[in-house]
Amino acid sequence: MSNKRLLLLSNGSELVGDEPNEFARGAVRDFLGADVRRVLFVPFAAVVRTYDEYAARVRLRFGALGYEVESIHEAKDAPGMVGRAEAIAVGGGNTFHLLRGLYEAGVVEAIRARVERGAPYVGWSAGSNVACPTIKTTNDMPVVEPPSFRALGLVPFQINPHYTDEQLPNHKGETRDERLAEFVHANPGVRVVGLREGTMLRVEGASVGLVGGKPARLFLKGEGPRDLAPEDSLQFLLR
């Protein structure tokens, strides 16, 4: 039986932005619980703002929830810090920059192993994307080149954060559905979950549930896109 515990949010601004909402704060507080006192933050998705600035914001927001935060970019021994972590939070930003930072710090395997041993993992936006087998379903521009698209592989499916099926007037480019249809066509058998804003996936060992008042959208080659409601069983995603 897997001990993995993950909370994967579509959007981090609801948690660490200028106006965090109580729904996201409550979901994280409920997920981490009272046993966790200190959270290890991974700020590598930041590009324009510094890691120090990003870590300071997360310290402020998580501190208000009762958790201390240490940032991996300050570590002299990053893999060792991961191995001792009570919980891990991976922030949003640019997914390519984040994954390159994880490889450069030498913590891809360390994070995977620590989460496998039961450390709770909270990811938002890019932080949710890197929990997947690859980052191929990110929305981000490849501003840097990581050594591989292979990510943490904490779940066996792909996530598309910030998913929307809205179409902008007079926009002639591909829709999000069309781009994800291309992905599943080129990667048969791989499931993609489009996470709408204000929603998140919570994984508890062998169970997974959709949290939030909106459906997610599932993409798989050979099937048309279909919505998954919060009350639906999503256990098939972990197979």
Q: Give the residue numbers annotated as catalytic, written as ranges.
A: 125, 140, 162
List Cα–Cα distances, 142 to 80, 169, 194, in angstroms. Answer: 29, 26, 20
Provide φ and ψ at 88, rounded to 5°. -125, 130
Identify the three-state secondary structure at position 207: strand
Going from the C-alpha of 234 to that of each of 57, 130, 168, 199, 208, the distances in angstroms are: 33, 20, 30, 14, 6
CA dist list (Å): 57 to 51, 69, 88, 132, 158: 10, 10, 16, 25, 28
Instruction: State the alpha helices, DSSP H only, in the chain.
Output: 13-16, 22-32, 51-64, 78-84, 95-105, 108-116, 126-129, 176-186
Cβ–Cβ < 8 Å for 64, 17: no
